[in-house]
C-alpha cells in the first residue's frame, strides 16, 4: 500500500507532500490493523526496536524537509521542454529503486539479524521510514529472528509502524499547513478507507501467498516512476 500510494501521490503532488500524505493513510491503516491483530505485540521487542526507530524517524523526517527546498542540481531541455532535477526527487527515486531491487535479490530476501541488532534495525527502519516512507522491509529483516510467532510478529510490526508514522507525521505537520491539507482531505479519506478495506481482507487471507505477478508489476511501475521522478519528468 505505502509503495504504490506514494508513487501515485508523487505524480500529482510534491515529493515531500506525497510521502507525508501516504504517511497519513498508512497511519490510519495501521490503527485499523492494530484493532485486528494488535493484542499480541511483544512489549520487550517494542522497547528494543521501537525507541531507536522513533528517534531515527525524527532525523529522517527532518532530513526530508531539509532537502525539499534545495535548488535544482541540474537543468536540461528536450524538444523545447525544460526539466529540473531536484535533490529531493533524485534521492527519493534512488532509494525507491534500491528498495525495489533488493526485494528481488534472493540474498536480501533471506537476510536476517540476531536479537542483539534490534536497536540498529529500529534505527535503520525508522530513519528510512521518515525519509522516504520505506520501512517495512528493514523492519521485517530484523524482527524475523526475534523468536516471535506469526501473529506476534505481525502485531509487533504494526505497533512499531504506528510509532514511526506518528513521529514522522508530527515532523511533517508544518508541510501540511503550507500545502492546504483541507483542499485534498477527501482524497486522503478515500485512500484511507480503501486501505482499511484491504487490511480487513488481508487479515482474512493471512495464510495466502502473495502473487508473484503482482510483485513484478508493482516493481516495474516503481522503477519507471522512480526514473521519471529522478530525471525531472514528473
- How do residues 96-155 score in pLDDT, each as one tens digit? 888 777 777 766 666 666 777 888 889 988 998 888 887 777 787 788 777 777 778 888
Q: Is the pLDDT of residue 57 over 90?
A: yes
Tens of pLDDT along 70-105?
888 888 888 878 888 888 888 888 888 887 777 777
Q: Look up residue 27 and give its three cell numbers.
A: 497511519
CB 135 within 8 A of CB 161: yes
Q: What are the φ and ψ backbone dihedral angles of 210, each rounded to 5 degrees?
A: -65, 135
CB 146 within 8 A of CB 115: yes
Expressed as residue numbers, the domain containing 225 is 2-230
Between 37 and 82, the more confident residue is: 82
Domain count, the chain: 1
Strand runs (DSSP E) across the chain, as ranges? Answer: 74-78, 81-85
Tens of pLDDT along 173-230?
876 666 556 667 777 778 778 777 776 676 666 555 455 666 677 778 778 878 887 7
Amino acid at each position: 500500500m505505502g509503495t504504490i500510494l506514494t508513487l501515485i501521490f508523487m505524480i500529482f503532488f510534491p515529493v515531500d507532500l506525497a510521502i507525508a500524505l501516504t504517511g497519513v493513510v498508512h497511519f490510519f491503516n495501521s490503527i485499523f490493523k492494530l484493532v485486528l491483530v494488535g493484542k499480541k505485540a511483544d512489549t520487550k521487542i517494542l522497547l528494543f526496536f521501537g525507541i531507536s526507530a522513533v528517534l531515527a524517524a525524527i532525523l529522517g523526517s527532518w532530513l526530508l524537509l531539509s532537502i525539499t527546498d534545495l535548488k535544482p542540481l541540474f537543468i536540461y531541455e528536450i524538444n523545447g521542454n525544460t526539466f529540473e532535477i531536484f535533490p529531493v526527487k533524485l534521492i527519493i527515486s534512488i532509494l525507491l529503486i534500491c528498495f525495489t531491487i533488493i526485494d528481488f535479490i534472493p540474498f536480501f530476501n533471506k537476510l536476517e539479524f540476531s536479537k542483539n541488532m534490534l536497536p540498529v534495525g529500529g534505527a535503520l527502519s525508522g530513519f528510512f521510514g521518515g525519509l522516504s516512507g520505506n520501512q517495512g522491509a528493514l523492519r521485517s529483516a530484523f524482527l524475523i529472528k526475534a523468536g516471535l510467532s506469526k501473529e506476534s510478529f505481525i502485531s509487533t510490526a504494526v505497533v512499531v509502524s504506528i510509532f514511526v508514522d506518528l513521529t514522522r507525521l508530527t515532523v511533517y505537520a508544518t508541510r501540511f499547513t503550507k500545502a492546504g491539507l483541507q483542499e485534498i482531505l477527501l482524497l486522503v479519506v478515500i485512500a484511507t478507507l480503501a486501505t482499511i478495506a484491504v487490511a480487513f481482507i488481508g487479515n482474512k487471507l493471512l495464510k495466502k501467498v502473495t502473487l508473484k505477478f503482482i510483485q513484478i508489476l508493482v516493481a516495474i511501475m516503481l522503477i519507471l516512476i522512480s526514473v521519471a521522478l529522478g530525471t525531472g519528468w514528473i
